[in-house]
């Protein structure tokens, strides 16, 4: 609303906030097409094998009951929902990795992008990043996992901010992480009619949403500063319901954004320099 000059001032304020947060690109996607399908179910494990009684055993997948004369159904849900897409500034990500002692591992050749280097260095995280569990994981820190952790934590931070201003609960959001592109997308995943919550939120509270990402209060744990002293994350800060998270709430830490102790799986106990501390 307002005059052309007022609109330009608002746009400049959002552009300044985007740059200060270390974002290269920020887009409202009005028609993000998503397709989900299911061809069976299991009550044992989400993966093809499960570890029980000191051995790996196959998981039985039960197909849905047959229909139309001996045919097995595959249930499909198609969605076209709103989303926010964010791509980080590559130079700032490189600066942040260097501040956390990973600069030597990401020396780029002429013309090489950081994303290409991350693909070269990548170690498998496991299906739901269980190799980096806060309770059982024990791994060395490296550039790919730190970049994934940065994108993942920022995604959850944005979900919490959008939930606050849009009227959608945390379980109404989904996320997708694109580490090699230094990007992520959060989207509304409800199957009810889309009421334009994200577009309305951005139109009315866009600058406030960006301001909430690096606000001092939002960078602290809400459970007696538990994660501020221990590292990692908990339901009182940046965790979201596991039905909304791509990694089972693993590779996630308040310290990645605001600085603080290393995560429990990290064999390097050095303090993490937060992305917003740069």
Per residue of the chain (278 residues), give pLDDT as tens.
679 998 899 889 999 999 999 999 999 999 899 888 888 988 888 777 888 888 989 888 899 999 988 899 999 988 888 999 999 999 999 999 999 999 999 999 888 999 999 999 998 887 778 778 777 667 888 999 999 999 999 999 999 999 999 988 998 999 999 999 999 999 998 776 677 889 999 989 999 999 999 998 888 887 766 687 777 888 888 999 988 899 888 899 989 999 999 988 888 889 999 999 98
Q: CB count, 10 Å around CB of 127?
A: 13
Q: Which of 169, 173, 131 is nearest to 149 (CA)?
A: 131
Q: What is the DSSP letter of 179?
A: G
DSSP 202-249: HHHHHHHHHHHHS-TTTTS-TTTTHHHHH-S--TTTT---TTT-SSTT
Cβ 248 vs Cβ 242: under 8 Å:
yes
3-state secondary structure of 269: coil
pLDDT digits (tens, 9 = 90+) for 165-183: 998 899 899 999 999 999 9
Predicted local distance difference test score (pLDDT) of residue 225: 65
Cβ 154 vs Cβ 86: under 8 Å:
yes
Q: CB count, 10 Å around CB of 35?
A: 8
Q: What is the DSSP letter of 70?
A: T
């Amino acid at each position: 609303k307002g005059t052309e000059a007022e609109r330009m001032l608002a746009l400049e304020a959002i552009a300044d906030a985007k740059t200060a947060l270390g974002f290269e690109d920020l887009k409202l996607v009005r028609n993000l097409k998503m397709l989900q399908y299911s061809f069976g179910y299991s009550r044992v494990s989400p993966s093809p094998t499960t570890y029980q009684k000191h051995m790996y055993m196959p998981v039985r997948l039960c197909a849905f009951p047959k229909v139309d004369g001996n045919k097995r159904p595959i249930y499909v849900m198609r969605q076209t929902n709103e989303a926010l897409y964010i791509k980080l500034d590559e130079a700032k990500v490189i600066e942040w990795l260097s501040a956390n002692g990973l600069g030597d591992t990401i020396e780029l050749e002429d013309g090489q992008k950081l994303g290409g280097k991350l693909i070269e260095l990548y170690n498998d995280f496991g299906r739901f990043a269980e190799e980096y569990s806060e309770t059982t994981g024990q791994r060395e820190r490296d550039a790919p996992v730190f970049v994934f952790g940065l994108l993942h934590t920022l995604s959850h931070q944005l979900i919490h901010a959008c939930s606050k201003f849009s009227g959608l609960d945390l379980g109404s959001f989904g996320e997708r992480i694109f580490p090699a592109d230094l990007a992520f997308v959060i989207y509304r995943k409800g199957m009810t009619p889309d009421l334009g919550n994200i577009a309305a939120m951005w139109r009315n509270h866009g600058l406030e949403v960006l301001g909430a990402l690096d606000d001092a209060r939002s960078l602290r744990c809400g459970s007696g500063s538990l994660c501020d002293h221990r590292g990692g994350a908990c339901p009182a800060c940046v965790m979201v319901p596991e039905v909304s998270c791509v990694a089972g709430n693993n590779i996630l830490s308040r310290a990645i954004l605001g600085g603080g102790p290393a995560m429990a799986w990290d064999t390097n106990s050095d303090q993490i320099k937060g992305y917003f501390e740069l």
